[in-house]
Chain A
Amino acid sequence: MRLGYRGQFSFFRQKCRSGSEVARAEKSKLSPAPTPVPAANAPAESAVCDTRLCLRVQNLIFGLMRARDLLHPRPEGLYCPPGDFFIDPVRPVGRALITHGHSDHARAGHGAVLATKETLDIMGLRYGDGFAGSTQAAKLGEKIAINGVSVTFHPAGHVLGSAQIAVAHNGTCIVASGDYKRQADATCAPFEPVACDVFITEATFGLPVFRHPPDSDEIARLLKSVRQFPESAHLVGAYALGKAQRVMRLLREAGFDQPIHIHGALAKLSAYYQSRGIDLGELQPATLEDNTKADFAGAIVIGPPSAFADRWARRFPEPIACFASGWMRIRQRAKQRGVELPLIISDHADWDELTRTIRETGAREVWVTHGREEALVRWCELSGIAARPLHLVGYEDEGD
């Protein structure tokens, strides 16, 4: 533990404000309260109990311990003892805060769920109306108190409704990012850096080899192939929530105005995106009832990746297997899956985005979860930022 943290007290002033607020504060050289004020619910023991006071001071100095007391992993998921809630728990719990609707983060069966309206809607679509005992919609940027712990949702740019959750208590602020990306995405609100003491980052693509190209380049390659092989159907594997709709939107932005054929598993979520004002153009079910095999020549068909290895895919002529995923950066991955046209389109931050984001949050400590923790921890060490892997179980890479 480094005593140097004492020198960073001034940092507490800025924590838990969104990037734009930080920028504004810096511009006007505002200087908020110079020292951290003990939180309201701190016992007013003063001199009454020396040892407790000592502990309190120690806690202020050794912020690390405090942070661990505020959020730490349990088998069910990330737990906040003072607030008595979990973030993205993988097992049913009493109170859950959910960052986004991917099934490994958003599960059914919790007592109370707090999430953005879109995330709640998506959970409803996936699990049915009774997916939780009670639900509460969190507005982005709005402070919500849970057992004295302040909780704020900020956009994460991952999929529609995705949010980071800032948890603040007794002068310490931790941001759990859930999954996030920095590339622009017309289907969801952009990520907003939030100043904090501890930043919990995902590391799905936490290796320097993962560098996502601009998504418009990838869509251009797809459209070029469609022109080059007009007798083929291009089958694009894309996860049902987020990626599929982003690919549809990118195709529209690139000027593709033919109907897009979709697998049944995408229908509900795509309709939901459309209802939220995201224009995906004309979507048609990729069924044979009204179509013959030849009708799919020159078509773009989007479905969940697993469907293309299935007998379902046999209805398409001269199929060309495409897969929209950050994993497609690695040729061997594409080869193993039998992908002919890999499209490197990811809803997770790549290496450059991860490192840039860590710097932008100004966090003095970084906790790295689900992914390749070791490389990102190493980078933090080289950059003079304390970091440790946070071993959370049960998260897959559904979003990619």
Chain B
Amino acid sequence: MKSFAELLDRLVLTPSRNGKLKLMSDYFVATPDPDRGYALAALTGDLSIAAVKPAMLRMLVTERMDPVLFGYSYDYVGDLAETVSLVWPDPPPEKKPNHAPTLGEVVAALQSASRSDGPAVLAKLLDSAGISARYAIIKLVTGGLRIGVSARLAKQALADLGKIEVSAIEEVWHGLEPPYATLFAWLEGKAPPPQSTARALFRSVMLSHPVEDNDLEKLDPADYAAEWKWDGIRVQVVAEGGVRKLYSRTGDEISGAFPDLVEAMAFDGALDGELLVGHPPQHTGTFSDLQQRLNRKSVSPKMRERFPVFVRCYDLLQDGAEDLRALPLLVRRARLESFVGGLDPSRFDVSPIVAFAAWAELDDRRRHPPHPVIEGVMLKRKDSPYLAGRPKGPWFKWKRDPHTVDAVLMYAQRGHGKRSSFYSDYTFGVWAGPEGAEELVPVGKAYFGFTDEELRQIDKYVRDNTVERFGPVRSVRADKRSGLVLEIAFEGLNRSTRHRSGVAMRFPRISRLRWDKPAAEADRIETLQALLDEPGPASAGGQGETETLIS
């Protein structure tokens, strides 16, 4: 338990991706079964333990210590799990178990506890553990480790351990159960890949590279088919023998949030497509509309009616018992059209092919897409098989140019890791208010898009123009006469009730430093508001808004 607790503590404070991977793979090497398997399940969110409510936890601890002292402690720390782990009194030596439980034993004890004896089992575990192990136990029973590790990253650590591609892990993943002994045996070269009898498994998704300068000169337009790149979320829709699953492109199962779509999955096969909101083919909703349906545990009938989801299909990977992935794209495409023709047209349609003869023609269509929910075009070699991962050459994405706005730097925050001595996270704002009384309202935050040299320049600017400090944050001089103008590129705007400016940017980054531009000439909020109001089929709802995306 101690090593798992230590792993959690390190992961939560380690900003670098490589650092996290190293911490996890080292842990998997050093820890025996079944502990490492349960740790993996905890990290990927696949460990099911009956939850203990915060009120119960509080009751357990105040039975053991003065409630006033507990109150002072909780007020100071601010996090219940952490407070309880720290103040939990050690039992008298004669009552203290002489054995600190392993993670496997903790999981077994918690999983076998009934509803009524759950609190007593938990208290006994806390009695037997040290401070950091107590914290880990409480995190397990209160649900949600929130340590900045995605299931995908944990799988990448497994891939590093076995020196294989992460896609190979994703393909077997959904047939496996904690504590994953067969998986670890395979990764350590002691056993063949785990065979699964589970149905409707995930297949690794094929990804594309962005079109870079000069890429296209070397390519023959006749070898490629183009289709629109829709601005929804990439999904894989798999149905097999009555089992129906909807996966995100990283293999996370998201079926639960989309019962309306799952109902319509009356087929045997695997489709690759884009999850969108609307009534195909006439009406496709915006990404803001789609957000109403993301990250929800349950969906009200009203939401289902107002924001119905459908899949715009790109590819067919499996048709009944037949795996199509080795076939050329155009052959798969023909099979896709006939396959989708047999499905509910309000839930499935096919993304149309974009005809073009020369790159310049496609370039023009990319810049002026016929629909606001299109963010560019995809180029796919007509003879390409469906390959896992991101092979260079067969598929390209060619995005519409981003929107840009000139904003003024308002606050800067120190970065982490390599950047801990640099002010590298920037909050920027645009002008708002009546003429003569304009003030800056923050519209977003960006921490990349600049070169190392530019970072050094901005860092110096921040240090030389600080007006106030709040911990790691500095407020920077920003008024009509002086201020640093940043050209911000972004993919889109959502309405926001959370930000004072009323807008939230998607994927903002710094595209240019405008040392030459006076702060007074930066953009006004109306410029952004006009973008929000651009004609789209449906306006964003604004209620119950979520700003995190499934990606």
Chain A contact residues, CB within 8 Å of chain B = 207-211, 213, 221, 225, 228-229, 308-314, 318-321, 329-332, 334-342, 372, 374-375, 378-379, 382
Contact = CB atoms under 8 A, between A and B. Distances in A.
Contact of B72 (A211, A221, A313, A374): A374
A329 B13 contact: no
A211 B10 contact: no
A208 B68 CA distance: 11
Contact of A207 (B6, B73, B416, B421): B73
A208 B66 CA distance: 10
A27 to B, nearest CB: 25
A221 B23 CA distance: 13
Interface in B2-44: 6, 9-10, 12-15, 19, 22-23, 26
Given A209-B73, A319-B418, A336-B471, 6 more contacts: A208-B70, A309-B421, A314-B421, A320-B417, A340-B13, A375-B72
Contacts of A209: 73, 76-77, 83, 86-87
- Secondary structure at the B interface, as helix, strand, loop or mixed, is helix
B78 A337 contact: no
Contacts of A207: 72-73, 76
A312 to B, nearest CB: 8
B121 interface: no
A228 B23 contact: yes
B414 interface: yes
Of the candidates B15, B69, B417, B422, the one having the most CB atoms from chain A within 10 angstroms of its own CB is B69
Given A314-B421, A378-B72, A330 B131 contact: no
A311 B86 contact: no
A226 to B, nearest CB: 13
B86 to A, nearest CB: 4
A211 B86 contact: yes
Contacts, number: 96
B472 interface: yes
Contact of A330 (B12, B23, B82, B422): B82
Contacts of A308: 420-421
Given A308-B420, A341-B13, A378-B69, A221 B86 contact: no
Interface in B66-95: 66, 68-70, 72-73, 76-79, 82-83, 86-87
20 contacts: A207-B73, A209-B87, A228-B23, A309-B421, A314-B422, A319-B417, A319-B418, A320-B19, A321-B417, A321-B420, A329-B86, A331-B9, A331-B82, A335-B13, A337-B472, A338-B416, A372-B72, A375-B69, A378-B68, A379-B69
Interface residues of B, number: 37
Given A228-B26, A229-B19, A336-B471, A342 B13 contact: yes
Contacts of B471: 336
Contact of A382 (B66, B76, B420, B472): B66
Nearest to B421: A313
A352 to B, nearest CB: 9
Nearest to A382: B66
A341 B10 contact: yes
A319 to B, nearest CB: 7
B66 A334 contact: no
B58 to A, nearest CB: 15
Contacts of A342: 13
Contacts of B415: 338
A211 B65 CA distance: 15
Contacts of A228: 22-23, 26
A73 B437 CA distance: 51
Contacts of B66: 378-379, 382
B6 A208 contact: no
Interface in B106-151: 131
B33 to A, nearest CB: 22
Interface string B240-279: 0000000000000000000000000000000000000000
